[in-house]
Amino acid sequence: MQLFSIHPHEVPLRPGWRATVFLLALGLAGFVLSAEALRVGVAETLAASADVTELRRAVSLDPANAKSQRLLGALLCTLEDPNLVEGLEHLRRATELSPNEAANWSALASACELTGDRVCADEALERAIRLAPMMPRNEWTLANHFLVTDRTEQALAHFQRLLKLDPGYDWQSFRLCLRATGDPDLVFRKVLVPLGDTKLNLSYVNFLSAQGEMDAARQAWAESVAHASPFPISSAEPYLERLLELGQGREALGVWQDLEKLGVVAQPASEDTDNLVFNGDFEQLPLNEGLDWRYSAAPYLSVDFADAAPYHGKRCLRLDFTVGRNDEFVGAWQFVAVVPAQEYVLTAYVRSQNIRSDSGPRLRVLDPSCPSCVNVFSDTTVGTTPWHQVSLRFSTGPETQLVILSAVRLRSRTFPTEITGTFWLDDVTLKAAGPVDREAASKPAP
């Protein structure tokens, strides 16, 4: 009897067993795929590190990951003790793995520049620009590369394109261009004029004034506003403030008049063209900047530029001293452009109600650049008074171009010291009264 057959017996599987075997096969494949996903995931986690050891582990786990190759290569090139050879190997590998990724070529270009390989850097940057033509960062890198390699003309062209893509690079671009050329006008004509962007032009004007390049700023301003459309006054404010800070009253007045012509600043409806005070009758709300009235919050002082009880017109300035204090207050002030060695007359109409203190509100004219040259006050107003005129006469110094006109209250030295009550101001005028007679002023009094 043959107990064992030398040929295996083929036993057909029942339907249930077939399903079990199929599911086991699927499970094994899923396990393989999960392991691969886990490996890639771990590699990506390690690649997020800025540590060379971790990045090397990431590249070892997933050598086909272009991002890991790029990160490791870039880090190796920028260490305090860089390994440029190995770094370049990883960066080149990143471009091979992902040749359509602009970031890979940009990183390679930076590394090539570090090694002094201009050809490599040029080719890599041009490849990055072609792949991502709308990415400002690539234009920034390329423009800087041309500056470093003494190709200023090409650098300026790319700074121009960079600012067209992203005006937010303005001041850092201006700084580099000016440092490379030393010629503010060249930068203006090569980079900004072709763009025809008034906002960028004014940003350049503000930049130049901040750098102390006032002549260049003046020229750029004149060309920028010659055919400009109206723009927010904030675009001109830094330049105008710099002129005022330097005491350049005539230049500041010219800028202000340009703003009026463009409609950026509304011209007050006044027939008195000789009055140097802007908005002296308070018929329009002040801008709180430029050559208009200014004000700031102060404890215990309320400032209202639209009081409906004026000397004439529809409105006036009202100051309320709400709580008794013996403090110095400045209710409102304005920069006024004047001429050196000139006599001026200031007049205004004021009234008061229940002003306590012997030191009430008054008008002051001060030369901020030379207080000893001009620092004069009108009579004070106390108690309750109807509308009445106050005035003062003064002469500007030999260099005075700008004065500050203000409504102030000085600290009192006698009882009652604390001030309360209300003060109104309207119809403020400042007019030239002729040149100073220096010869008469120098003669001793009889």
247 and 369 share one domain: no
The parts of the chain modelled with pLDDT lower than 70 are 1-49, 271, 438-446
Residue whose structure tokens are 């600290």: 411
Q: Tell me, what's the pLDDT at 113?
A: 86
Domain boundary, last residue among 112, 133, 154: 133
Cα separation, 25 vs 20, whole angstroms: 9
In a domain, 97, yes or no: yes
In a domain, 98, yes or no: yes
In a domain, 3, yes or no: no
In a domain, 272, yes or no: no
Record the pTM. 0.79
In a domain, 19, yes or no: no
In a domain, 2, yes or no: no
Cα separation, 111 vs 87, whole angstroms: 8
Who contacts 56 (Cβ-Cβ below 8 Å, separation ≥6)?
A: 72
Q: Tell me, what's the pLDDT at 48?
A: 58
Q: Tell me, what's the pLDDT at 23?
A: 41
122 and 255 share one domain: no
In a domain, 55, yes or no: yes
Instruction: Give the residue numbers spanning the domain of 59.
Output: 38-133
In a domain, 106, yes or no: yes
What is the CATH classification number for the domain harbouring 72?
1.25.40.10
Q: Tell me, what's the pLDDT at 232?
A: 96
321 and 433 share one domain: yes
Which residue type is seen at 357?
S
308 and 432 share one domain: yes
433 and 361 share one domain: yes
Domain boundary, last residue among 221, 245, 267: 267
* Token code pair at residue 249: 């009253």
What is the CATH classification number for the domain harbouring 438?
2.60.120.260
Is-contact 201 220, C-beta < 8 A? yes
pLDDT in tens, 321-361: 999 989 999 999 999 999 999 999 999 999 999 999 999 99
Is-contact 340 396, C-beta < 8 A? yes
CA distances from 124 to 41, 97, 110 (A): 30, 15, 9
Cα separation, 314 vs 268, whole angstroms: 13
Cα separation, 109 vs 105, whole angstroms: 6
Is-contact 441 388, C-beta < 8 A? no
What's the structural domain count of the chain? 3
Cα separation, 389 vs 424, whole angstroms: 12
pLDDT in tens, 357-415: 999 999 999 999 999 999 999 999 999 999 999 999 999 999 999 999 999 999 998 88
What is the CATH classification number for the domain harbouring 227?
1.25.40
